[in-house]
Amino acid sequence: MSVYQATASAPVNIAVIKYWGKRDTKLILPTNSSLSVTLDQDHLRSTTTSRADPAFTQDTLWLNGKIDEIKAGGRLETCIREMKRLRKEIIEDKDASAPKANQVDLRSLQLSEYKVHIASYNNFPTAAGLASSASGFAALVSSLAQLYSLVPPLVSPSTLSLIARQGSGSACRSLYGGFVAWEQGVRPDGSDSLAIEVAPQAHWPEMHALICVVSDTKKGTSSTSGMQRTVETSTLLQHRIKEVVPARMAAITTAIQQRDFDTFARITMADSNSFHAVCLDTEPPIFYLNDVSRAIISVVVEYNRLSVERGEGYKAAYTYDAGPNAVIYALEKDIKEIIQLVLAYFPQTAGEFKDVLGVFGGSVQDVNVHAKIPEGFNDKVASKWEVGSVKGLIHTKVGDGPRALAPEEALLNADGIPK
Ligand code: DP6
């Protein structure tokens, strides 16, 4: 008996122009366009296997091995339903009108009528506090797209991004690698609110990222509820939406096209600051940064001051999402110096998150021996923090879009249950 199954992986993306605010909460239509860098799946990814089978009795999803309820009218249900609708509309209805004799390939089947089993897995530790909804929904949509043969040239990643967007707004940007814009669109039905590729990974492969995982004990405000409060109460958001973001979208697009890191860095940091400013302007105010986050900002600011003094322009760009973790974008040539500097202020627990050791030749000794403050750096800008304040460092870089994986990589066993 044939098994109708496909496995895909999808990347994390970190915005440099932030999405914050919806004009339609059901369709997930944003109040402003945004732009992100897709990170390398070799370090952070979600993997999803989807199977359609006439014997299945209901759509079921397992996340990291545990059943995740598919609520009626919820985001998961919407994505699965929309993928089935797309399959029916552009493949099954068309094939029915022109039936081919003895067709045995997947396209001849009414797969959209079968229930699906879906298993999804994130390779990054949940304890790291990294958002997984973007890569998760992108992997879900990508695996269903392969299962249903909704692939280029028939269906573009931009078309799939319309569906991933309805799972989580930022997920639409994980349908492409490289540098990706989510155009806010103007239509009420959301049909023009989609992701486009600004530049592929190969355009600027020297773009690296250092994720500083900051310890956080308290449960923060979720993006979904936080941004709605901002829309309802912040007057500053209106200025951000109308004036600030449109100008920055244009300017950072040009900076990326010209591989102008100095401009890229200035805009990235300004937009992170603007996003956290509208959070503070929310009633009641929302705080995502903590003292460690702010200390990282001080270190990056001083590092850039020194770089400008050396005539080299800005060399590091911090950005923060709805939590205290810092992502520092930098070019490959400078990443070692930046990791050494971060280690000098935020020593690591020996033996954890070893992947930053790569820049030091891969030795397995305690990473803290590499701590170093550059000559001319004013070391008074921050105090040295205790071990564990930054509980992990992940060194990664710009990456590619969703990948189709081989059958051996499937997360479901022969019975359609997670392995
Ligand atoms: C701060 O995409 O998680 O990371 O659409 O409600 O699921 P929902 O929100 P989500 O918000 C992400 C907000 C952000 C900025 C960004 O990624 O652009």
Of the residues 223, 249, 252, which should be mutated to test ligand 1's pocket, given the most ligand atoms within 8 Å of the CB? 223
Q: In what order do the strands lie in the sheet with 194-199?
A: 13-17, 34-38, 179-183, 194-199
Cα–Cα distance for residue pair 289/220, rounded to 1 Å: 10
Low-confidence ranges of the chain (pLDDT < 70): 95-108, 126-129, 351-355, 357, 362-364
ipTM surpasses cut 0.90: yes
**What does the pLDDT read at residue 352?**
66
Beta-sheet pairing, 115-122 with 60-63 = parallel
- Atom of ligand 1 at shortest range from CA of 131: 3
Cα–Cα distance for residue pair 74/58, rounded to 1 Å: 16
Q: What is the pLDDT of residues 19-30, one digit of tens each?
A: 999 999 999 999
Ligand 1 lined by 135 (C-beta under 6 Å): no
Domains, the chain, ordered by start: 4-204+405-409 (3.30.230.10), 207-397 (3.30.70.890)
Q: Are 237 and 243 in contact (CB under 8 A)?
A: no
390 three-state secondary structure: strand
Token pair for residue 83?
């993928």
Task: Quote the ligand 1 centre to 87 CA distance (angstroms).
Answer: 27
Of the residues 18, 19, 24, 249, which should be mutated to test ligand 1's pocket, given the most ligand atoms within 8 Å of the CB? 19
**What does the pLDDT read at residue 367?**
87
**What does the pLDDT read at residue 132?**
83
**What does the pLDDT read at residue 102?**
47
Cα–Cα distance for residue pair 41/397, rounded to 1 Å: 9
**What does the pLDDT read at residue 106?**
58
**What does the pLDDT read at residue 131?**
74
φ/ψ of residue 411, rounded to 5: -95, -5
Task: Quote the ligand 1 centre to 226 CA distance (angstroms).
Answer: 10
124 three-state secondary structure: coil
Ligand 1 lined by 278 (C-beta under 6 Å): no
231 three-state secondary structure: helix
Token pair for residue 294?
């702010």
Residue type, 337: E
The DSSP 8-state label assigned to residue 369 in this structure reads G
Asked if omega into 402 is within 30° of 0 (cis), the reply is no
Q: What is the pLDDT of residues 55-91, one digit of tens each?
A: 999 999 999 999 999 999 999 999 999 999 999 999 9
